[in-house]
Amino acid sequence: MKPDDLPTAVYNTEQSRSIDQAIINQTSINSFELMQQAAQAVFKVIVKNFPLVKSLVVFCGSGNNAGDGYVLATIAKQHGFDVSVIAITAKDKLRADADKAYMLAEKAQITIEPYTQQLLTADLIVDALLGTGINGELRPPFAEVINYINASNIPVCAIDVPSGLSTDTGMATPIAVIATITVCILSLKQGLLTAMAKDHTGRLIFADLDITATDYLQPSSNRLDANNFTDILQTRKHYSHKGTYGHLLIAGGNYGMAGAVIMAAEAAICSGSGLVTVLTQPEHITALALRRPEVITAASIQEDTLITKQAIVLGPGLGKDSWALQLFKQIIAKAKAPLVIDADALTLLSDNLQILANYTSEIVLTPHPKEMSRILNISTNEINNNRFDAIKKLYTMLETIASKSKSIVIVLKGSGTIVYDGTEISICIAGNPGMATAGMGDVLSGVIGSLLATGITASIATKLAVLCHSQAADELAASQGYIGMLATEIIPIIRSQLNKIANN
């Protein structure tokens, strides 16, 4: 998946259908012509990315996605490909343009056969089964057909979306085609960017058909892109000092968990803040000083510890015992700076939500699904089944409780991390499975806190941190692979990412 080839505007399923209809209503392009353009775009992708392919088998369902498939089959036949179609839906049940496309393929003398479990011998499978048309569980025989495709060991090109994958949630329903390439058409669908999507889309390619979706409808969310932050990180002036770039406090590191707060501190000091102080258990101060001597250490809250800091990160390695709870309550009761609540502090927060009622500055929460489920008191499955709804639900809850806060930003971590600030949902498509390792969240919270301390607003600081954190992991994976990735290894790359953006 190459982010530079994808638009930043992202849409849900209903919006995507509205865009298609608006184009038909407001231009001279009719629905069948739009179908032909889509099929032509997919054919060009196939020719470019599968140059040795000479034979195709196209799996077609019943709706417009099937129509795309029948037209594609016709185009491929006209270009000398050996083409056959496996029709899951009989011709007499096809609708409008799909029926017209079927007749076009029939006229081109393409072999159209019903589904059986015969051995497939084609060079490439084209998935034109369902598109965005799924609603709930798959009806027979689609689940069987999808399993059949996935077991074939033949490369797959999915038209618009791998069949069975929800374009709203990114979840399989309950199974989905595992594509080699997915050609998303006209509007970038949000479900292709998060949750299970990356395991099903393969390489994601966007075909705009020379039409700009934002001319017809504003997006429901956006894709995080480094180009959107070039005016945020400015080249530093020579006439400045460490105080110019803020002082961050990181609180955590209970017994046995010194590493979490050390990683957060190291990430913070490498991400721009002029000063970083770590408040932790006394036994950990020596280890912190040896690992990162640039960081200031403290074993207790002094009178000015909270009021002199430009930002606070609360939670890495905090624990859940009496020491942790006391520190948690003390900081939230007295602090006035932008606050990042992470890790164990999120667990403590789930039982003490009203503590945020009097917090007046910016608040950033960085839960993974399990942490979010504790706060919302719902299952992790409910979170994962619709990450967009879940993050909005949590925001609404916090907005009511923390009504005095300057702003609230939530990060829902995972594949296709989502950031929500109450106005805009942003999706990070960078990141990889190598990040599923201890300490990655601690590093992220340190970067967010550091950017907050420099004076960047919570919404922008969080989005920028999430993007650089994931891009750094991708850069490391590109050279060394996913297995065995260490959270500390991406810290210098994050610094490099931030400097590239600042110097762009």
pLDDT tens by residue, 271-328: 999 999 999 999 999 999 999 999 999 998 875 778 889 999 999 999 999 999 999 9
Domain that includes residue 443, residue range? 227-231+238-503
Q: Which residue has the tokens 């017994």?
A: 255
Report pLDDT for 1: 43
- List, in order, residues 6 or more apart from 409 with CB less than 8 Å away: 362, 363, 364, 365, 419, 420, 421, 458, 459, 462
Kind and range of the H or E run holding 387: helix 387-401
356 and 261 part of one domain = yes
CB 133 within 8 A of CB 65: yes
User: Do 341 and 372 meet the contact criterion of CB atoms below 8 Å apart?
Assistant: no
Are the C-beta atoms of residues 362 and 457 closer than 8 Å to each other? yes
**What is the model's pLDDT at position 24?**
96
For 108, phi then psi, to 5°, come to: -80, 5
**Is the pTM value of this prediction over 0.95?**
yes
In angstroms, the CA 434 to CA 469 distance is 12
Check residue 135 and give its pLDDT: 76
- Asked if 271 and 415 sit in the same domain, the reply is yes
**Do 110 and 200 share a structural domain?**
yes
247 plus 159 within the same structural domain: no
What is the strand order of the sheet 82-87 is part of? 111-114, 82-87, 55-60, 124-128, 156-159, 181-185, 203-207
pLDDT at residue 133 in the model: 77
Q: Which CATH number fits the domain that encloses residue 406?
A: 3.40.1190.20
Residue 101 is classified by DSSP as H
Quick one: pLDDT at residue 303? 59
**pLDDT value of residue 5:** 85
Same domain, 182 and 302: no
Tell which phi-psi region holds residue 165, choosing left (phi > 0), alpha (psi between -120 and 50) or beta: beta
Do 207 and 84 fall within a single domain?
yes
Final residue before a domain boundary, out of 223, 253, 281: 223
Q: Are residues 272 and 202 in the same domain?
A: no
Q: Which of 176, 195, 223 delimits the end of a domain?
A: 223
Q: How do strand 418-420 and strand 425-427 relate by DSSP bridges?
A: antiparallel
Using DSSP's 3-state secondary structure scheme, residue 456 falls into coil
Is the same domain home to 218 and 285? Answer: no
Domain shared by 61 and 162, yes or no: yes
Buried b (16+ CB within 10 A) or exposed e, 13-45: bebbbebbeebeeeeeeebbebbbbbbebbbeb
Say if residue 421 is in the same domain as residue 313: yes
Residues 481 and 371 in one domain: yes
Among 176, 200, 223, the domain boundary falls at: 223
What's the CATH code of the domain at 188? 3.40.50.10260
CB contact set of 24 (below 8 Å; sequence gap of 6+): 30, 31, 34
**SS3 per residue for 141-161:** CHHHHHHHHHCCCCCEEEECC
pLDDT along the chain (504 residues), means of 10: 77 97 96 98 98 98 96 98 97 94 97 92 97 86 96 97 97 96 98 98 98 97 95 88 96 97 98 97 96 94 80 98 97 96 98 98 98 98 97 98 98 98 98 98 98 98 98 98 98 97 89
Q: How many angstroms from the chain centroid is the CA of residue 58?
A: 30
Q: Do the beta carbons of residue 164 and residue 88 sit within 8 Å?
A: no
Number of structural domains (the chain) is: 2
pLDDT the model gives residue 487: 98
- Whether residues 314 and 200 fall in one domain: no
